[in-house]
């Protein structure tokens, strides 16, 4: 009997990583879903400088007007008659966001105003014209 008492079955120490991996994946999914994705119009423009330039709080639609007077929205070139429909489509994804127009300093003012009118017709109330801060 002493032999049986002296013989203590040793248990192997084991760490179960499954709950830790579950929590890690849930956190990863949470951060991916809640991350703010920055949308860009798809082209780089040289914005005019302004002393009162600021960063808007909630902009979800970005429109760029190039020096060649091309309109770019969401990485694609858009013709002027299609601007309203494209803005309405993007606005349906985020109704609370505003619109930022990044017009090149050499772009036509008339085209800028037409884009702003199309945005107003699409129901966007907050329109911002992007400018570079003066140095």
Q: Stretch 2-13: mean pLDDT, rounded?
A: 58
Q: Does residue 119 belong to any structural domain of this protein?
A: yes
Q: Does residue 19 belong to any structural domain of this protein?
A: no
What's the domain range around 108? Answer: 49-133
Q: Does residue 81 belong to any structural domain of this protein?
A: yes
Contact criterion met (CB below 8 Å) for 65 and 107? yes
| pLDDT tens string 81-110 | 999 999 998 888 878 778 888 888 888 889
Question: How many separate domains does the chain show?
Answer: 1
Q: Does residue 109 belong to any structural domain of this protein?
A: yes
The pLDDT assigned to 127 comes to 87
The pLDDT assigned to 119 comes to 92
Q: Does residue 23 belong to any structural domain of this protein?
A: no
Predicted confidence band of residue 4 (pLDDT cuts 50, 70, 90) = low
The pLDDT assigned to 82 comes to 92
CA distance 117 to 83: 10
Predicted confidence band of residue 72 (pLDDT cuts 50, 70, 90) = very high
Place of tokens 């966007």: 124
Q: Does residue 59 belong to any structural domain of this protein?
A: yes
The pLDDT assigned to 3 comes to 53
Reference 64, options 125, 122, 105; nearest CA is 105
Which CATH number goes with the domain that contains 110? 3.30.420.270
pLDDT surpasses 70 at 41: no
Q: Does residue 31 belong to any structural domain of this protein?
A: no
Q: Does residue 98 belong to any structural domain of this protein?
A: yes
């Amino acid at each position: 009997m002493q032999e049986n008492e002296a013989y203590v079955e040793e248990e192997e120490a084991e760490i179960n990583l499954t709950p830790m991996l579950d929590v890690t994946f849930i956190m990863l999914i949470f951060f991916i879903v809640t991350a703010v994705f920055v949308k860009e119009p798809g082209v780089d423009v040289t914005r005019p400088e302004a002393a009162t330039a600021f960063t808007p709080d909630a902009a979800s639609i970005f429109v760029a007007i190039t020096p060649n007077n091309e309109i770019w929205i969401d990485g694609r070139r858009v013709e002027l008659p299609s601007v309203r429909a494209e803005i309405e489509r993007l606005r349906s994804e985020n109704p609370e966001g505003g619109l930022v127009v990044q017009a090149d300093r050499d772009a036509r003012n008339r085209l800028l105003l037409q884009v702003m009118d199309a945005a107003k017709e699409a129901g966007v109330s907050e329109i911002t014209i992007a400018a570079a801060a003066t140095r």
